Structure 1
Amino acid sequence: MALQNHRPMSKSGTSQPESAQILLVEDNPGDVRLTKEAFKQGRIENDLYVVSDGVEALDFLSQRGDYEDAPRPDLILLDLNLPGKDGEEVLEELKDDPTLRSIPVIVLTSSRAEEDVVKSYELHANAYLTKPVDPDEFIETVRAFEKFWFSVVRLPPEVDN
């Protein structure tokens, strides 16, 4: 599922030709809807792909099964509380794979537990965001994340192995 927004501007003021490829790993339909809404309101053109469990996420990233034509995401938004393989297991497998480990992973979860924060960073998450309960605050959090990761941060190129 793709969301089309405005093209990001380069330093020279011209539009960049490619949109950001984002993989959202989230099983809560309400949070998926709010995330889509936040990106729709944002300024960065993006293609948002959604999978609802850890096994699907790894299939998408490895281009297996139904996902053989899936693009390599520029960034992954990962919930920890997933059915089947949970977010920590996905993060661990992702960061153990030399072809995938350079993709930034942002944990976006409802967990405020300190042990989840510590464990996520130990597994090399690039950031840990706690989902606000209020829908407007949730949208603002995603928009702030979007602005930072796609306007300020320089993302790594794809690694060929």
Structure 2
Amino acid sequence: MSNLLKILLIEDDAIEVMKLNRAITSLELKHQIIEANNGEEALEILKKKEILPDIILLDLNMPKINGIEFLGILKEDDTLKYIPTIILTTSNNQKDLLSCYKIGVAGYVLKPLKYEEYVSKIESLLSYWSINELIKV
């Protein structure tokens, strides 16, 4: 039995947001998606601590606060640091990958160009996290 997830998607590209929502709909998944357009907006959502997500899907290349800066801020918070954060990015830069794992990311997923491959990756990613035992922060 898999659990429904509350997912905070931090993504500044509207097309990528639509693509994730479309993939979740086509997979007939009922996960709740909370959208933030950048790291600052995400921090405002998380600061309220009323509705905390089960997982965070984070893009690296964003204005204001980039993904790596956001991760650093998240990991300094005694409550928020336990939320699994998965990088969902086009960056296959090894420096980015290493930086993210040093900070404590839960996963690093490259967005494929083909939509079918993207849907497959999203299905696998969400399937894994929906059966994983998560800390309720």
Query: For 1:42, which of 7, 10, 27 is the aligned residue?
Result: 27
TM-fit CA distance, 1:134: 1.2
- Structure with greater helix share of residues: 2
Identity of aligned residues (%): 33
**Alignment length, in residue pairs?**
137
| Letter paired with 2:8 | L
1:90 has 2:70 as partner: yes
Moved segments of 4+, more than 2 Å? 41-45
Q: Deviations over 1:96-151 (max 9, x none)?
A: 10010110000001100000000000110000001111122111111110111112
Residues of 1 paired with 2:18 and 2:28: CA distance?
18
Query: For 1:104, which of 75, 80, 84 is the aligned residue?
Result: 84
1:148 has 2:128 as partner: yes
Consecutive unaligned residues in structure 1, runs of 5 or more: 1-8, 11-15
Residues of 1 paired with 2:125 and 2:28: CA distance?
12
Residues of 1 paired with 2:54 and 2:30: CA distance?
13
| Letter paired with 1:83 | P
Aligned to 1:5: none
* Structure whose alpha-carbon radius of gyration is higher: 1
Consecutive unaligned residues in structure 2, runs of 5 or more: none
Contact 1:80/1:86 (8 A) holds in 2: yes
Contact 1:51/1:57 (8 A) holds in 2: yes
Q: Deviations over 1:50-105 (max 9, x none)?
A: 11111001111112xxxx8x510000000000111100111110011001011000
Go from structure 1 to structure 2 and tell me whether the alpha carbon gap of 1:43 and 1:148 turns closer, same or farther (over 3 Å shift). farther
Instruction: Between the two structures, name the one with larger relative contact order (CA 8 Å, sep ≥ 6).
Output: 2
Contact 1:26/1:51 (8 A) holds in 2: yes
The TM-score, its normalising length taken from structure 2, stands at 0.93
Residues of 2 paired with 1:145 and 1:56: CA distance?
24
Residues of 1 paired with 2:35 and 2:47: CA distance?
15
